[in-house]
Amino acid sequence: MNVQIWSDYVCPFCYIGKRKFEKALENFDHKDQVQIVYKSFELDPNAPLHADQDMIETLAGKYGTSLEQAREMTRGVTQQAKEVGLAYDFDKMKRTNTRDAHRLTHWAASQGKMEEITERLLQAYFIESKHIGEHETLERIAEEAGLNKEEAREILSSDAFTADVEKDIRKASQIGVTGVPFFVFEEKWAVSGAQPVEAFEEVLNKVWEEQQGSGLIHMTSKEGSGDQACKDDSCGI
């Protein structure tokens, strides 16, 4: 079974959704026959490499609130992250452009290290408060993921894999992806957002059992799960 996952490295729901999907996969009888491919999505393609404001200041400016009110907005997401074993700290997250991180991911995929680099980048941004737009940071992350640091530097200093990133983004637009995370199973079923583990278990079993039919079927949300996805340059936090 092929599962394509569109995500961005600065989307808090993408890491939460990854953990929930992984839990569902653990409970799936045929998990050894599931191939996961991560696809690039940029919530804010024009984001600066070095932002003048931190995450809390950005939220306050975007929604016209005080810093404390903006901080309160993040607490729900922080709690959701905690429930899946992730310790988010929005005060320390370093906003940046993710294009190079996505290019690095495509290179890692060509080296058989897509899962490793994806997990390491998300961990670096959300848990360790690393600046994942800086090449030096990305080079270290690549090395930690089992890749050659010097080769990573060469990739980052060029425009290599830019076409691959843009191809993913075009495909996302073609199939109607407006927010991430977005999961596509066997080009047939789609799940949008960081849905409950049970929702992922349901679609895994249905896709496995059903071998006929056509068209992309959207399973967007379970009752009460809310809009747990990032759209454009903002998130439902």
CATH domain 2-235 topology: Glutaredoxin (3.40.30)
Measured distance CA(13)–CA(194) in Å, rounded: 6
Distances in Å between the alpha carbon of 231 and those of 120, 178, 180, 228? 23, 6, 7, 10
d(CA 221, CA 23): 17
Residues 39-75: tens digit of each pLDDT: 999 999 999 999 999 899 988 998 999 999 999 999 9
Q: How many other CB atoms sit within 10 Å of the CB of residue 31? A: 13
Structure confidence at residue 227 as a pLDDT band (50, 70, 90): low
How far apart, in whole angstroms, are the C-alpha atoms of residue 42 and residue 44?
Answer: 5
> What is the CB neighbour count within 10 angstroms for residue 36?
17
pTM passes above 0.95: no
Identity at 189, one-letter amino acid code: W
Alpha-helical (H) ranges within the chain are 12-26, 55-63, 67-83, 99-110, 114-122, 135-144, 149-156, 162-174, 197-209
Please give the Cα distance from 155 to 122 (Å, whole number). Answer: 20
pLDDT at 225: 54
Can you give the pLDDT at residue 163? 99
pLDDT in the model for residue 234: 55
226 or 34: whose pLDDT is higher?
34
At 212 the pLDDT is 43
Rg (CA), the chain: 17
For 158-209, write each residue's pLDDT tens digit: 999 999 999 999 999 999 999 999 999 999 889 999 999 999 999 999 999 8
- Around Cβ 144, how many Cβ atoms within 10 Å? 14
Alpha carbon distance 169, 177 (integer Å)? 9
Distance of CA 57 to the CA centre of its chain: 22
Q: Which of 22-26, 147-151, 186-190, 232-236 has the lowest mean pLDDT?
A: 232-236
- H-helix or E-strand containing 7? strand 2-7
Give the C-alpha separation, 201 to 219, whole Å. Answer: 12
Assess whether pLDDT exceeds 90 at residue 222: no
Show the tokens assigned to 105.
Answer: 């991911």
Burial group, residue 70, by CB count within 10 angstroms (0-12, 13-18, 19+): buried
Cα–Cα distance for residue pair 89/111, rounded to 1 Å: 32
Model confidence band, residue 4 (pLDDT cutoffs 50, 70, 90) = very high
What pairing do the DSSP bridges indicate for beta strands 2-7 and 179-180?
unpaired
